[in-house]
Structure 1
Amino acid sequence: MVGTTQLITLNRPERLNAWDAPMRARLLALLQRANAHPEIGAVVLTGAGERAFCAGQDLNEGKTFDGLRAELWIEEWRLLYSTIRRFEKPLVVALNGLAAGSAFQVALLCDVRVGHDGSQMGQPEINSGIVSATGFWIMREMLGLSRATEMILTGRMAAAEEAHRLGLIHHLVPASALRGKALEIAADLAGKPRLAFKLNKQRFCAATQAGFDETFEAARLIHRHAFDAGEPQRVMESFLTKQR
């Protein structure tokens, strides 16, 4: 039995679908439910609107953190990232625009990424005063140390063609075909032998678990230090002031 494909849409278009705590918790619950539901064969993750899959962390939330809240924030991400890594079914991303920071990381943790000419991917945290602790590990796994270092320190975004060339986007299609292509890929993957698919994904996770655990312990300490020092909050507030 192939099962149905569930479409999950990040739905805060007025904030370019940027994450806040309720949104992270809702996505976590939906993924956990889909993983356990016998009639769901695959999931496609996308964003509302035409501008962004997700702009990453909502700076209006982040600017309120202190060191302790930053530690708890990292634990929220640990749980969400772990759930994605341990998701036993096909998980396909339809990149309907910008995927920045933690959204870039979420996309990279999924199985297959589909984009269009307007898709952009990158790690611009440094521009908001946020250390790219988890992003460094994920990007190094995908791209190697040299490219990860350059993208993190510059904070630049990669356009669709570059992201496709680097393997960050697997399929480039016209914007009008984006969702259909993602659903097609999800259905095809859901038709694979389920046990083999599940065991393959378990092996991918196990082979990288030590790095994942070390990364999140480091991230907890790094972000506690940074937010206790106050730089991220100041930079985020300055950025938001300029946007008003």
Structure 2
Amino acid sequence: MTVAILPAIKSHPFSCKVIIIAEKTMANFILTEIEERAHGKVARLAIDNQRKLNTLNTAVIKEFAETMDRLDEDKDIAVLVITGAGNKSFIGGADINLMAGLDPESAREFITSIHMTCHKARFFHAPVIARVNGFCLGAGMELAAACDIVVAGKSASFAMPEVRVGIPSVVEAALLPKILGLNLARDLVMTGRSINAEEAYTAGLVQRLCEDEALDAATETAIEEILEGGRNAMAIQKQLCNDWENNALEDGIQMGIDAFARAYESDEPGRMMGAFINRPR
């Protein structure tokens, strides 16, 4: 298994004393690190499936869900950073080899698990920062959209390429029209084209844009700003932000799950994904 070392965490500049807990856990696909600061704990989670650009398969999703549940139980965590291990990819989407073998029933089950991955970030008790390094595709872009703040290096690229392999962009893709505007969201999900980090920043998906070498520093700045806020107020504010968008969104997500399963009623996903998997290299 490839092991990625998470970036070191700086001391909080407003604290007279910072206690660092050497609590680092490693599972097959998920790395976590927790640091205790004077104003609350900072948790970091890295998806480590580097051989496949940190794509999401059933095992990765299961470990991610278990880890998020464990972290969510620790109410002393004041901010969570989600990133991809290595420097090539945040999340390269869902595993196409897995999706190529789905049928309508298993497609519904799988895409619901993708939704729950994003849901755990949206409804985590503390603010969640997406530290985007490299490719942010499909389910990765949905997870980034589900986070509260997105920090990206300039080499990051974003795309919703699902239609190119015979399936629609669904679940938390329902967030994109509100974030990007309906017309750009339509463009991206209908063409599958990529946009660079500067375009994503201009469109509103990325809130903090920086040079690649400054990604850790920019993430740290966001962490420090969150830690300055009141913990109770922050929890209330996050819930309120979700309430502002949630009602219509949940309907859109359910419609997306239905649409994803419906796509597998034809042979198109298997045929197009098979062509992609077996393409000349």
- TM bracket, shorter-chain basis: over 0.9
Q: Match for residue 225 of structure 2?
A: 188
Describe the shift of the 1:100–1:140 C-alpha distance in structure 2 as closer, same or farther (beyond 3 A). same
Q: Match for residue 47 of structure 2?
A: 10
Which amino acid is 2:103 matched to?
D
Q: Match for residue 101 of structure 1?
A: 138
Q: Distance in 1 between matches of 2:218 and 2:280?
A: 35
Matches of residues 87-236 of structure 1 in structure 2 within 5 Å? 87-236=124-273
Deviations 1:196-243 (A, max 9, x none): 111111112222222232123212221222112121121111111115
What SS does the aligned partner of 2:44 have? Answer: strand
Describe the shift of the 1:83–1:243 C-alpha distance in structure 2 as closer, same or farther (beyond 3 A). farther
Identity rate of aligned residues, in percent? 24
Give yes or no for contact 1:59–1:236 (8 Å, CA) kept in 2: yes
Give yes or no for contact 2:172–2:253 (8 Å, CA) kept in 1: no
Normalized per residue, which structure has more helix?
1
Q: Distance in 2 between matches of 1:206 and 1:66?
A: 34
What SS does the aligned partner of 1:106 have? Answer: helix
Give yes or no for contact 1:9–1:45 (8 Å, CA) kept in 2: yes
Give the number of equivalent residue pairs: 244
Q: Structure 1 stretches of 5 or more lacking a match?
A: none
What SS does the aligned partner of 1:228 have? Answer: coil
Give yes or no for contact 1:11–1:48 (8 Å, CA) kept in 2: yes
- 1:135 deviates by 4.9
Describe the shift of the 1:243–1:8 C-alpha distance in structure 2 as closer, same or farther (beyond 3 A). farther
Which amino acid is 2:71 matched to?
A
Q: Distance in 1 between matches of 2:122 and 2:75?
A: 19
Q: Match for residue 81 of structure 2?
A: 44
Deviations 1:1-45 (A, max 9, x none): 522211111101110000001111211222222222133221111
State the superposition RMSD in angstroms. Answer: 1.6
Determine if the alignment matches structure 1 residue 61 to structure 2 residue 93.
Answer: no
Q: Match for residue 85 of structure 1?
A: 122
TM-score normalised over the length of structure 2? 0.82
What SS does the aligned partner of 2:93 have? Answer: coil
Describe the shift of the 1:165–1:243 C-alpha distance in structure 2 as closer, same or farther (beyond 3 A). farther
Give yes or no for contact 2:171–2:257 (8 Å, CA) kept in 1: no
Q: Specify the structure having the higher radius of gyration (Cα).
A: 2
Deviations 1:103-160 (A, max 9, x none): 0010011011111121111211111212012254211111121111111111111111
Q: Distance in 2 between matches of 1:139 and 1:38?
A: 29
Give yes or no for contact 1:121–1:160 (8 Å, CA) kept in 2: yes
Give yes or no for contact 1:89–1:190 (8 Å, CA) kept in 2: no
What SS does the aligned partner of 1:229 have? Answer: coil
